[in-house]
């Protein structure tokens, strides 16, 4: 799986791993805070936390993520004297609009560079493309309440150079970077080694979207909150390795029956909340209702779906999380859920009737919470 760690998005539970950064500072989910303030200059720096050295005493890992660092990073910073660095993590700090200076491209042995969510600004320098050994690259940062305080941009020439030179790249985050000006011919298809791709809030256009799904090794894809004019999902040739797909709050045209029929058997989680889905659920989704051992999470909440909740929903064999709230479903709840792994269930804010076998659900050792009517969370059974 991806190299950002095994932390799942807060909403999802279970054992499946999701490509995500191990320290989500921006949303208060940091596993640790950097202990820079506790560094003792009187002892060997190789013994300090967040630093690792090679056998010759050269610093090769510097993890300052979530370090509460503030200020600017200039081109003459002593940081750039650490010529042997392979792993530099600056995620989750506040560099107050500092440019990503070209000196970042001089770490010839760098395999892990994370500058995301740290209030950098300006153009990503072409020199970043010189880091040909990179396996993980994090740039940009999320918009907070729709407002991006500092803006990071990727020019056409830089994007082209990145796609040509970073052939070993497996995890790539461009969260919050406007990619609408990148022409379709400069697609993501050259990043053929990617397993994790974060394109939240990137203003993708349709052709870019189509090419992304052709990445054969892609396992986790974050596409939430994009504005893609004429964007739609490809009808075939999806990555057969895809495990996690997040399409929350998009303007893409989504043909739900076609999408559900095309998803690969490797898929574990499908997140389609606020996706302008209209009409009844498709029937005959034999893959999900049959042998789908990997599929554990489905979110179709906050759409305009109507009609009845079809039998294949109840029959997903290893389902852990199901969110169908805030739609227009009607009719009776026809029976119990077959998955003994069910943990979270939300059917609220619909027009459903009938009897749900709550007693059976509450007997599931894994079951945590349910919400049936117009309600907040009703129960927590551990």
According to the model, what pLDDT value does residue 230 have? 59
Tokens 């009776």, located at residue: 332
Going from the C-alpha of 128 to that of each of 22, 123, 214, 337, 338, the distances in angstroms are 23, 11, 25, 50, 50
CA–CA dist 115, 120 (Å, integer): 8
Mean pLDDT score of the chain: 79
Residue 233 near residue 254 (C-beta atoms within 8 A): yes
Residue 205 near residue 252 (C-beta atoms within 8 A): no
Burial label for 281, CB within 10 Å (0-12, 13-18, 19+), is buried
Residue 2 near residue 20 (C-beta atoms within 8 A): yes
Beta strands at 278-280 and 98-99: parallel, antiparallel or unpaired: unpaired
Closest listed residue to residue 179, CA positions, set 164, 168, 163: 163
Global pTM reads: 0.84
Phi/psi at 359 (nearest 5 deg)? Answer: -60, -40
User: Which residues on neighbouring strands pair with residue 370, listed in sequence order?
Assistant: 345
According to the model, what pLDDT value does residue 264 have? 82
Edge-to-edge strand order for the sheet containing 120-123? 98-99, 120-123, 152-153
User: Which residues on neighbouring strands pair with residue 94, listed in sequence order?
Assistant: 70
Per residue in 245-291, pLDDT (tens digit) is 998 988 777 888 888 877 788 889 999 999 889 999 988 676 676 66
Q: Measured in Å, how far apart are the chain's first and last C-alpha atoms?
A: 29
According to the model, what pLDDT value does residue 7 have? 26
Ranges of the chain with pLDDT below 50: 1-31, 37, 145, 374-382
CA–CA dist 182, 189 (Å, integer): 13
According to the model, what pLDDT value does residue 15 have? 29
Domain ranges of the chain: 25-371
According to the model, what pLDDT value does residue 40 have? 55
CA–CA dist 163, 186 (Å, integer): 8
Domain 25-371 class, CATH top level: alpha beta
According to the model, what pLDDT value does residue 366 have? 63
CA–CA dist 100, 74 (Å, integer): 9
Report the 3 state secondary structure along the chain. CCCCCCCCCCCCCCCCCCCCCCCEHHHCECCCCCCHHHCCCCCCHHHCCCEEECCCCCEEEEECCCCCCECCCCCCCHHHHCCCCCEEECCCCECCCEECCHHHHHCCCCCEEECCCCCEEEECCHHHHHCCCCCEEECCCCCECCECCCCEECCHHHHHHHHHHCCCCCEEECCCCCCCCCCCCCCHHHCCCCCEEECCCCCCCHHHHHHHCCCCCCCEEECCCCCCCCCECCCCCCCCCCCEEECCCCCCECCHHHHHHHCCCCCCEEECCCCCCEEECCCCCHHHHCCCCCCCEEECCCCEEEECCCHHHHHCCCCCEEECCCCEEEEEECCCCCCCCCCEEECCCCEEEECCCHHHHHCCCCCCEEECCCCCCCCCCC
């Amino acid at each position: 799986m991806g190299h950002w760690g095994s932390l799942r998005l807060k909403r999802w539970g279970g054992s499946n791993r999701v490509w995500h950064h191990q320290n989500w500072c921006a949303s208060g989910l940091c596993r640790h805070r950097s202990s820079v303030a506790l560094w003792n200059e009187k002892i060997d720096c190789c013994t300090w936390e967040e630093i690792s050295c090679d056998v010759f005493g050269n610093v090769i890992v510097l993890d300052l993520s979530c370090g509460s660092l503030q200020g600017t990073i200039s081109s003459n910073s002593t940081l750039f004297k650490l010529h042997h660095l392979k792993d530099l993590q600056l995620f989750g700090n506040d560099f107050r609009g500092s440019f990503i200076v070209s000196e970042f491209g001089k770490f010839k042995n760098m395999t892990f560079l994370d500058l995301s969510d740290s209030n950098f600004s300006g153009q990503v320098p072409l020199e970043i493309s010189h880091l040909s050994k990179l396996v993980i690259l994090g740039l940009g940062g999320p918009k907070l309440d729709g407002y991006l305080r500092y803006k990071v941009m990727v020019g056409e020439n830089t994007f082209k150079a990145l796609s040509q030179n970073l052939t070993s790249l497996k995890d790539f985050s461009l969260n919050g970077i406007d990619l609408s000006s990148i022409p379709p011919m400069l697609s993501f298809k050259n990043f053929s080694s990617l397993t994790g791709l974060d394109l939240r809030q990137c203003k993708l256009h349709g052709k870019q979207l189509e090419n992304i799904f052709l990445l054969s090794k892609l396992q986790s894809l974050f596409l939430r909150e994009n504005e893609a004019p004429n964007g739609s999902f490809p009808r075939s040739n999806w990555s057969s390795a895809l495990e996690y797909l997040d399409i929350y709050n998009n303007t893409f045209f989504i043909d739900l029956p076609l999408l559900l029929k095309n998803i690969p058997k490797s898929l574990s989680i499908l997140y389609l909340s606020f996706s302008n889905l209209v009409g009844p659920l498709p029937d005959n989704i034999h893959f999900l209702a049959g042998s789908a051992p990997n599929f554990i999470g489905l979110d179709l909440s906050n759409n305009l779906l109507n009609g009845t909740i079809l039998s294949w929903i109840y029959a997903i064999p290893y389902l852990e999380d199901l969110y169908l709230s805030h739609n227009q479903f009607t009719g009776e709840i026809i029976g119990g859920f077959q998955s003994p792994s069910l943990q979270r269930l939300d059917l609220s804010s619909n027009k459903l009737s009938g009897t749900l076998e709550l007693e059976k659900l509450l007997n599931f050792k894994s079951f945590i919470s349910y919400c049936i009517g117009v309600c907040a969370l009703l129960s927590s059974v551990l």
